[in-house]
Amino acid sequence: MSEITGTIPAGLRCWSVSWPEYTPADVTPPELLSTALAEHVPGWAEDAPTPTDVHDWDRRRANVLVPFELDARGWPLNPQGRTGRTGRNLGRWGENAAADPIVVAGSGQERRVLLIVRDDIHVEAIPGGMVEAGETAPAALVRELREETGVDLSDHRPIILGQDLVDDWRNSDHAWVASTSALYQLPATVTAIAADDALDANWWPFGSLDQLDAAITAAGRTSTPRTGPSCSAPLTTSPSNPPNPAGGIHG
């Protein structure tokens, strides 16, 4: 169960279930309120104060990672159902596409995984970020990794692990994150230097998820709730046995 949707009773999560008393909390930050947008639009956000002000829903829905529906008002509905949150704390209404490069070096008990400390929530996480306008997911994977760790894997072809909804703390009923996650496998670690949205970048022991968790805990740090699940696939994935994400990779 998602941490976000976990605040909603399971029987009331689905949009098809009537819930007249539902009163989600508005999570829109000051800079994305209509009055603020009328004065200045942040470079990372679209200028639509509400989903009603978005006029290309047909195009957007045709190019998403995870299909979603619109309600009677024409507002996008989170595919996971009610979240207990309304408004927008992300750049776009509806799906916000992200890219998460998972970089693993070595094998067996000598295996290492590259994680960063995010500057917004100060926890260990997989590198990654939002796909920019006009950018493909493969290009975003390379760019985000290079920007946050200094590691350039533009000459490597990753294994696409999946395209899924992300349990992001900014998600709401009408704006959420979906990500393309990809695995880069290296024979040995390379130098990683934190930059951009990362406060730190380190290679962690990754013989197993338990070993990774123990190492992070022993260092007095914590990881995002999705770090473990995201790192589980690389433990069983190899070039000769790749996963088969439905629909392939959207470029």
CATH of the domain at 168: 3.90.79.10
Pairing of strands 76-77, 85-86: unpaired
Same domain for 80 and 107? no
Same domain for 25 and 139? no
Same domain for 114 and 90? no
Residue 123 lies in a domain: yes
Same domain for 101 and 212? yes
- Choose among 221, 186, 190: nearest CA to 203: 190
Task: State the pLDDT at residue 243.
Answer: 53
- Choose among 94, 95, 97: nearest CA to 50: 94
Range of the domain at 188: 95-235
Of the residues 79, 94, 109, the one at which a domain ends: 94
Residue 243 lies in a domain: no
Task: State the pLDDT at residue 105.
Answer: 97
Same domain for 90 and 13? yes
Residue 250 lies in a domain: no
Residue 242 lies in a domain: no
Same domain for 157 and 100? yes
Residue 56 lies in a domain: yes
- Choose among 192, 170, 190: nearest CA to 179: 170
Same domain for 215 and 120? yes
- Do the Cβ atoms of 231 and 186 come closer than 8 Å? no
Of the residues 58, 77, 94, the one at which a domain ends: 94
- Choose among 133, 222, 134, 144: nearest CA to 182: 144
- Choose among 113, 92, 9: nearest CA to 43: 92
Q: φ, ψ for residue 192 (rounded to 5)? A: -125, 130
Residue 133 lies in a domain: yes
How many domains is the chain built from?
A: 2
Same domain for 12 and 81? yes
The C-alpha atoms of residue 72 and residue 234 are separated, in whole angstroms, by: 41
Of the residues 94, 123, 143, the one at which a domain ends: 94
Same domain for 42 and 132? no
- Do the Cβ atoms of 201 and 188 come closer than 8 Å? no
15: left (phi over 0), alpha (psi -120 to 50) or beta: alpha
The C-alpha atoms of residue 111 and residue 237 are separated, in whole angstroms, by: 13
Q: What is the pTM of this model?
A: 0.83
Residue 70 lies in a domain: yes
The C-alpha atoms of residue 189 and residue 89 are separated, in whole angstroms, by: 36
Residue 223 lies in a domain: yes
Task: State the pLDDT at residue 81.
Answer: 97
Task: State the pLDDT at residue 238.
Answer: 58
E-strand spans in the chain? 25-26, 69-70, 76-77, 85-86, 94-105, 112-118, 124-125, 129-130, 159-165, 175-186, 198-205
Same domain for 86 and 112? no
| Token pair recorded at residue 79 | 């595919």
* Alpha helices (H) in 87-208, listed in sequence order: 137-149
Same domain for 74 and 115? no
Inter-CA distances, 245 with 142, 160, 181, 248, Å: 20, 7, 10, 6
With b for 16 or more beta-carbon neighbours within 10 A and e for fewer, the 97-106 pattern comes to bbbbbbbbbb
Task: State the pLDDT at residue 133.
Answer: 86
Of the chain, the end-to-end C-alpha distance in Å amounts to 29
Same domain for 190 and 89? no
Q: Give mean pLDDT in consecutive 10-residue pieces for the chain, a chain of 251 residues.
A: 67 97 97 98 96 97 96 98 98 97 93 91 90 92 96 95 92 97 96 90 93 92 74 66 44 33
